Amino acid sequence: MPARLGLSPLSKALSMRRALNINLLPSALALAISLPVAGYAQAQEIELDIPAQSLGSALQEFGRQTNVQVLYSPSDVQGKRSRAVKGKMEPQRAIDALLGGTETTHTLSGNSLTVTAAGTSAVLELSPTEVTGNTLGNITEGSGSYTPGTIATATRLTLTPRQTPQSITVITRQHIEDFGLNNVDDVMRHTPGITVSAYDTDRTNYYSRGFSVNSFQYDGIPSTVRNVGYSAGNTLSDMAIYDRVEILKGATGLLNGAGSLGATINLIRKKPTSEFKGHVQLGAGSWDNYRSEVDVSGPLTDSGNVRGRAVAAYQDKKSFMDHYSRKTETYYGITEFDLSPDTMLTVGFDYQDSIPQGSSWSGSFPLVKYDGSINKMPRSYNNGTTWSSWEQNTRTAFAMLEHDLGDGWVTKFQLDHKINSYHADLGSIQFVEPQSDGSASINGQKYTGETKSTSADLYATGPFSLFGRDHELVVGGSIGTSRWQGKGYWSPEWPGGNKVDFYNWNGKIAKPIYGPVQQYTDDTIRQTGYYVTTRLNVVDDLNVILGGRVANYHVTGINPSYKETGRFIPYAGVIYDLNDNFSVYTSYTDIFQPQESTYKDRNQTLLEPDEGQNYEVGLKGEFFDGRLNTSLAYFEVHETNRAIPDDAYNNQTPRPNNYAFRSSKAVTKGYEAEISGELSPGWQLQGGYTHKIVRDEDGKKISTFEPENQVNLNTTYKLKGALDKFTVGGGVRWQSKAWNEIWNDPLKKNQDITQSSYTVVDLMTRYQVTKNLSATVNLNNLFDTTYYTNVGFYNSAAYGEPRNVMFSTRWDF
């Protein structure tokens, strides 16, 4: 790939503040990209490679590659797409090609390019600035696209999807709004290759490539919270505060250190805007589902050097399940300060309470009856009591300090402090029920606790020259600590007894009385790491990305202590451009994760860390002038030290007092195809097909509730002509057969519980009543497909949602 390095997006953003005390329109937001290059010669030819994309992003990229200062008003380029520019040419010719058909005018004078909408003039006036791209990648809000501009989740390098040598899915802001994806669970259901498995009404787990996904990042900073079974609130995060969600498939140890072998979920927060704007949204739907959302953003000073944004969302919803409801309130605030022309400080917070009532616990009903036969209960059945509740609360404060070092180099410091707490007072019908007389017993337990975590990351990135070519480098380090303190109460006393009628269960029973605490949790995780990534432009059309992390990991507390020091985690990727449309790539990534405290062998020794290597080879493409991204990948994940039950020990007679695990190996092999972006003007699409099989060291299939084949496709189309106020769309999710093995205690044997292949179809329609007012209808599970979203968790089952509808209206200002 040709050398094409200039300032990073942050350097451009900071230097634009230095240049932009003059702007384009009185109410406009302007972007300037200033480079320390004097006397730019317009006649000089330069090698360019700018994919077609949103016009604002293309202008930033043009400024980066040509060393030209670019001035424009975001309102003038909003909703416009650039054409692709590639090859060696003069800047004037390049900008003519880039802006062709965009209904803009421009002037190129010396080192300065000014772009305005056709028919407007460039009025010089003081005005704030807007950053539409930064070191986290391009902001997707307002792009109208289902595909991203640039992303940085994989390596800290800000790259396009085609330049990233791993499989990555980005659910953009437009996709989130079109289909009413209100929390992370909803987003994951729209993500190709991800299996969403509900433990019960308030706890969800995700699976990718045969592994549980418990690695979360927030604005690229890894979270050390990993007590998934006790639910830290990650999966319930409200999407009102996020610009997009990036899901990086496979091992991701370069930036995470310890983490999941299957994928990493990176939630990118919304950023302040430099012009006053916002929206109010109200919605109502099936099962008394009511939602409201307010989002306001803009400058807080006359000069625009301080910008802020505030978001509030509230949802009160009942359910298709008997006596279950949940109230969620979310608040978010963020402020950016231009401390100097070269330095920007960002501070913010988010706050969320999720308060359910009537929570199910361990599925929604037990699978096995007293005689060993399998229960078949209606979808409305809820094994929980009316007072059962798994309350989750999240509080976050974060800060970012970004500084332009000059010569294209930028440094960034991020700090994130979270408090994730839960209060779970639970009661439900579990285990082998009902008995022969139709009765069942309520199991009651209570759990309370919180995790306080702090993560910090500092890195510098910029260009360097070697052997006559320009390359990119990232050097950084991170530190994270989290302390999880919890209590468990296991021996309830039931004043009126705990026997109920299984088949006429309505959830009503008096709360039990708990005695003293019977379980204490007090574990602290400390993790530090140092990482380096470089992108080497070896020859034209060939890039090599090399990186590595040295990780230190230490767990202390009541549970067994574990320490890992100086562990090296490598990263390697190669990308070769075949032509203007296609690139082939291959990559290798690595990761490790210390075992949960319960995974001990027969000698009560903690198993060695779970380890995995991800091998991937694929073909990526950009079509229709880059408005569409595609990928085709073959992958293998090789795992060692997978924790599995030690049956030879556990099944002895008499049965041992301790339940033991042993280490095993596993290999996932599969392939996936993905597509995202604009097929034609007004037609957005995101979809994918995934095939995978996971086998243990004996060749037996495992992780079988993840289907071997999955299809996920979502699309919208803005109608033309007399119907141009309508946008219509739909989605389809299909998966092949899946199953889980359970222990049927009455029959004293293992038994497979199978979920047959199924299809879920969704529809959406939006009507643009006025320029600022719209109304949307989302119809989910059109054909009312009945399916399990989990089988086997403590021998229980849980259903997916039946057919439901949501009406919403939105006013933009």
CATH of the domain at 369: 2.40.170.20
Task: Kindly report the CATH number assigned to the domain that includes residue 56.
Answer: 3.55.50.30
- Residue 140 neighbours by CB under 8 Å, 6+ apart: 148, 149, 170, 172, 173, 174, 243, 244
Q: Position of tokens 């990186």?
A: 547
Q: Position of tokens 């401390």?
A: 339
Backbone dihedral region for residue 58 (phi beyond 0: left; psi -120 to 50: alpha; all else: beta)? alpha
Q: Quick one: CA torsion of 626, 629, 632, 637, rounded to 10 degrees?
A: 130
Pairing of strands 562-577, 542-557: antiparallel
- The reported pLDDT for the residue numbered 26 is 32
What is d(CA 398, CA 48) in angstroms, rounded to the nearest whole number?
37
pTM, two decimals, is 0.86
- With respect to residue 802, please indicate whether it lies within any of the assigned structural domains: yes
- The reported pLDDT for the residue numbered 571 is 96
- With respect to residue 192, please indicate whether it lies within any of the assigned structural domains: no
State the amino acid at position 812 in one-letter form: D
- CB 357, CB 325: distance < 8 Å: yes
- The reported pLDDT for the residue numbered 67 is 66
- With respect to residue 20, please indicate whether it lies within any of the assigned structural domains: no
Phi, psi dihedrals of residue 24, rounded to the nearest 5°: -95, -45
Sign of CA pseudo-dihedral 120, 124, 125, 127: positive
Strand partners, 325: 318, 357
> DSSP characters for 703-752?
STTS-SEEEEEEEEEE--GGGTTEEEEEEEEEE--EEEEEEETTTTEEEE
- CB 740, CB 704: distance < 8 Å: yes
Residue ranges of the chain with per-residue pLDDT less than 50: 1-42, 121-134
- With respect to residue 701, please indicate whether it lies within any of the assigned structural domains: yes
Structural domain that includes position 77? 44-122
- The reported pLDDT for the residue numbered 310 is 98
Q: Of 72, 99, 122, which one is at a domain's C-terminal end?
A: 122
Select from 336, 332, 268, 270 the least CA-distant residue to 299.
336
E strand or H helix at 98 = helix 91-99
- With respect to residue 172, please indicate whether it lies within any of the assigned structural domains: no
3-state secondary structure 303-320: CCCEEEEEEEEEEEEECC
Select from 588, 587, 687 the least CA-distant residue to 629.
687
What is d(CA 187, CA 176) in angstroms, rounded to the nearest whole number?
7
Residue 507 gets which letter from DSSP?
Answer: S
3-state secondary structure 666-708: EEEEEEEEEEEEEEECCEEEEEEEEEEEEEECCCCECCCCCCC
State the amino acid at position 365 in one-letter form: F
Q: How far are the Cα atoms of 10, 40, 191 from residue 110, in angstroms, in the given order?
A: 23, 6, 46
What is d(CA 791, CA 742) in angstroms, rounded to the nearest whole number?
9
Helix (H, G, I), strand (E, B) or coil at 372: coil
Backbone dihedral region for residue 110 (phi beyond 0: left; psi -120 to 50: alpha; all else: beta)? left
Q: Of 71, 105, 122, which one is at a domain's C-terminal end?
A: 122
Select from 59, 66, 53, 6 the least CA-distant residue to 31.
59
E strand or H helix at 616 = strand 610-623
- With respect to residue 159, please indicate whether it lies within any of the assigned structural domains: no
pLDDT in tens, 767-786: 999 999 999 999 999 999 99
- With respect to residue 612, please indicate whether it lies within any of the assigned structural domains: yes
- With respect to residue 574, please indicate whether it lies within any of the assigned structural domains: yes
Q: Of 95, 122, 149, which one is at a domain's C-terminal end?
A: 122
What is d(CA 526, CA 521) in angstroms, rounded to the nearest whole number?
16
The count of domains in the chain is 2
Tell me the helix, strand and coil percentages in the chain, rounded to 5. Answer: 10, 55, 35
